[in-house]
Amino acid sequence: MNLGFWKKLKKPFFVLAPMADVTDVAFRQIVAKYGKPDVFWTEFVSCDGLCSKGREVLLRDLNYGENERPIVAQIFGAHSENFYKTAQLVKELGFDGVDINMGCPDRSIEKQGAGASLMKNPELAQEIIKETKKGAGDLPVSVKTRIGYNKNEIETWLPVLLKAEPSVITIHGRTRKEMSKVPNDWNVIKRAVEIRNEMKSQTLIIGNGDINNLTEAEEAVKQSGVDGVMIGRGIFGNPWFFNKEINTSDISTADKLRVLIEHTKVFEEKLGGIKPRSEFLQTQKSTTGKNFAIMKKHYKAYVTGFDGAKELRIKLMEAQNATEVENLVNDYLG
């Protein structure tokens, strides 16, 4: 089995989850500066899109900096031939690994037969892993999934994936039906580790769900025996999350707001007008930026828990660019 960079990581490792319109290159740059995880993931990107004329626009989501390594590109789709082609592209772009999304519950994704719907099509899931590995060459191929579709199916679903021998499987401890309406089930994730061990598989298991700080992450490792933990929503408004030298509760409001300004400026620089990261991208340059409103979903997380937070947040939601945001924050700070 090709574990690639994964075999060099000290266990347990702590990684940042792929989240659409959240973990873009701008946010990853801020996290890399203030509290770098052991591994970064990109937002997920459509294989079908990357194999079409729409590639130019989607390449912005595969932009990254050298300070983000190791970084894994996450892709989704339902056509194994496009996974093969996309894995080749991911390798050409210099990523450290490629990850297949088999857990997204978004209806528009599922209508394509992708994301969580692949849990209902085990043969296709295995074929996709096989073709992705073929296209990825020496890059490790991983899978992110859930414990089942309508009910806990870890006893049948996990062996299907393990037989295809991905390097890593990240398991979110809820079914697709449960979404985020119930607590994450770390006992089922523990059972996943046991199944892996019973099958004498070398695939690494990452647990994911409801982790709010590194102490909780370490407890989850002790409880379940996973090799690593993936953090998603817990990092909102807290780019210091992975920094073991900082107690995030000690970070001042002023420091948080200064990082908010910095984050906004990086967003405008990196995604307001796309700048390519390689000669390959320069030949396929996209001029399509992201809507500034995407940045605003971070403001609610940064601007909370202090006097005047609500009023400042309302003003920030009306801002149109980084300059306006900076002026509003500086006015607040006096």
Q: In one letter, which amino acid is 107?
A: R
CA distance 269 to 207: 34
**DSSP per-residue codes, 219-253:** HHHHHH--SEEEESGGGTT-TTTT-TT--GGG--H
Beta bridge partners of 72: 41, 97
CA distances (Å), 301 to each of 10, 232, 253, 304, 313, in order?
Answer: 31, 13, 12, 6, 10
**DSSP per-residue codes, 25-60:** HHHHHHHHHH---SBEEEEEEEHHHHTSTTHHHHGG
Which sequence positions are flagged as catalytic? 104
Q: In one letter, which amino acid is 150?
A: N
CA distance 17 to 15: 6
CA distance 217 to 207: 9
Exposed, middle or buried: residue 269 (CB in 10 Å: 0-12, 13-18, 19+)? middle
CB 230 within 8 A of CB 17: yes
List strands edge to edge, sheet with 228-231: 13-16, 228-231, 204-208, 168-172, 141-146, 97-102, 71-76, 40-46
Of 179, 161, 210, nearest to 106 by C-alpha is 179
Helices (H), the chain: 25-34, 47-50, 55-58, 80-92, 107-110, 122-136, 154-163, 186-198, 214-224, 253-267, 279-282, 293-296, 299-302, 309-318, 322-333
